[in-house]
Amino acid sequence: MAARIANFIRPDPIPVRKPAKKADYLSFIRSLPCVVTGKYGVEAAHVSFAAPFYLHYGRGKGHKADDRWALPLSPEAHRDQHNHNEKEWWQQQGINPHELALTIYGAWSAMGDNAEPFCAARINQSLVSTGRFDRYRK
């Protein structure tokens, strides 16, 4: 019984497949403002750490995470993300990267490039809620 409950909570084995790559989605991500600073001129930064609650099981050996887990980060923030414990870094930013990535990916899936103003507004709302909006607009 315990094994059946465990499999209900977390699949065993963890799903393994080649990550989906979507060049048009990554171009869309690069059109958005940075989720940390609000600045434009971003890179597509993949969230690598696992969050099974969001059905993200991390990245495979030698593979980046699926493109649905990409977020727009300024080059400086992207380097900073990679130079620290990624999970702790996102916590310090006050951002749930999995939730935000799924929100942006969902909007793009439904509206294509027409989702850009909605996603930019969502990012700006996040910047306001974390007290970063005015700090980086100067």
pTM over the 0.85 mark: no
Q: Which pair of tokens denotes residue 35?
A: 């989720």
What pLDDT sits at residue 10? 54
70: enclosing H helix or E strand:
strand 70-73
What pLDDT sits at residue 127? 92
CB 34 within 8 A of CB 74: yes
Tens digits of pLDDT across the chain (138 residues): 455 544 555 555 555 555 555 789 999 999 999 999 999 999 999 998 887 877 777 665 556 678 899 999 999 999 999 899 999 999 999 999 999 999 999 999 999 999 999 999 999 999 998 887 766 554
